[in-house]
A and B are shown apart, each in its own frame.
Chain A
Amino acid sequence: MKKHTPLLAQLLFVVLCVVFWQWYANTRGIMGFPPLDQIFQKLLDCFTNPQRQILLYLGNSLLSVLKGLSIGALLALLLSAICAVSRVFSAVYTLVVSVFDLLPGVALLPILMITVGANDTAILILVIHSVVWPMSRSIMDGFKATPAIYVESGKNMGLGVAGLIFGVYVPATFASILSGIKVGWARAWRGLISAEMIFGAAQSAGIGVFINNARTVWIDYPSVYAAIVLIILVGVAVEYGVFQVIERHTVRKWGMIR
């Protein structure tokens, strides 16, 4: 019985929240606070209503993140690899990373809007910015922490520079790389939705645009909440469906994390 106490507490908490929400929404009838059944209905509707296919918006957002994430990750890997080889580059790049890592992407938006315009490129740059610095940091830290014995063993086998980087440093650092991607993903996803909401209408409208439209054009708050629920679900799916699966098939299988 004791084992289940935390679970029961969580369940009880959720039930209480739902009951309270439903009661409050029904008695007050505030626009920004719709009853749960309406939200749920909207969630279902949004999938079927051809004008507002929420999944299309969500798909656009995910596509932007995926594009930026892959470009950012490759860039981070490449730049960190150069750091492993060149001291001068490493010194400069470390400085660049520590400066830009402190800068939230959204703060760059005004500059991006006048330089590249309010378009998909600006969004892509923003996502890459969110990914490349934290990932570079984790990769470089990982490279530095790679046990000397793996490197010597690799050299002994006759691995060249590229072989050492991709055959030794990258797998030895994989746990770090993964946590870098996680941080990058979290920042990029948040940054992207903020940017979409600020831009209003980008070329390919994402979930942020959907929320904005629901609020200002359709005046449909249940849809706003439906989008919020979807954003949370995406977060859960990425954590459990993507990162934990990758972890299970790599670093956990290799015994490199507990």
Chain B
Amino acid sequence: MKELLKIRDLTKGYTDRSILEKLDLTVYENEFICILGPSGCGKSTLLRCIAGFEDYTGSILCNGKPVTAPAPQRMMVFQDYNQLFPWKTVEQNIQYPLKVNGLRDKEKLRQISDEYVHKVGLDGYQRYYPHELSGGMKQRVAIAKALAFKPELILMDEPFAALDAITRNSLQQELADISANENVTVIFITHNIQEALTLGTRVLLMNKQGKIVIDEENTIPKPVKPSSPGYGAMWDRFSRGLAQESN
């Protein structure tokens, strides 16, 4: 397995206190990493450092190159529904990063956006504007946009957190299917153990001090269901870990 992201001694704090301290993490190509952790432990901070939105001390190398600024090769999917540009249609939103980075061929762009619109189950909505979509549909578009660019790494910060349980479940299933069939590497942050076990090929738990305390390969066979062998035991370990870290 090829190393994609290598974080060493990552330390990050805001004026008064430190959030992440000497964090090490190595991500390999085609991994789907889920990070769990109590609220406020620094998960978003970690992701924003990797994305290049924050300055930090220590080193973050993506494909051997130090991360100093945001770049499309590390594509972010935010929790906020309103991350799409409201002045662009669904297909224009999906095509825009490709266009910005030099793909001009209209035919090709159309073909790519159609393909990913289809993958996230939004056929027929290409010409809709974001305000005409539901929250779940907007998140689907944001995911399609990230996938269509084929970045080295996709960073997702609780993209499903604000959705209702049913929509959330179906989006999890879709994302699990898509990621199994595409060459993508994902770091996915969530509060939800079930979500982490469903999606992740590797699941991490961060503690209040911003350290990674559990780092486990997810060996539960896909598609993951609560009845899958090993699910209960793994769920218990993370649940206990979270409870310990939360008090």
Contacts and interface: CB of A to CB of B under 8 A. Distances in A.
A binds B: yes
Given A254-B131, A255-B130, A156 B76 contact: yes
A168 B100 CA distance: 12
A174 interface: yes
B85 A156 contact: no
A174 B53 contact: no
Interface in A108-162: 147, 149-150, 152-153, 155-159
Given A152-B76, A171-B85, A174-B87, A157 B130 contact: no
A106 B69 CA distance: 50
B167 interface: no
A213 interface: no
A149 B101 contact: no
Nearest to A150: B85
A175 B192 CA distance: 39
B193 interface: no
A174 B86 CA distance: 11
Given A153-B76, A256-B86, A158 B130 contact: no
Nearest to B97: A157
A94 interface: no
A157 B129 contact: no
Nearest to B102: A158
Interface residues of B, number: 24
Interface in A199-258: 250, 253-256
A156 B132 contact: no
A158 to B, nearest CB: 5
Given A157-B97, A163-B100, A250-B87, A149 B82 contact: yes
Nearest to B78: A149
Contacts of A153: 76, 78, 83, 85
Contacts of B78: 149, 152-153
B100 A157 contact: yes
Interface of A: 147, 149-150, 152-153, 155-159, 163, 167-168, 171-172, 174, 250, 253-256
22 contacts: A149-B78, A149-B80, A149-B83, A152-B53, A152-B76, A152-B78, A153-B76, A153-B83, A153-B85, A156-B70, A156-B71, A156-B74, A157-B97, A157-B100, A157-B101, A158-B97, A158-B101, A163-B100, A171-B85, A174-B87, A253-B129, A256-B86
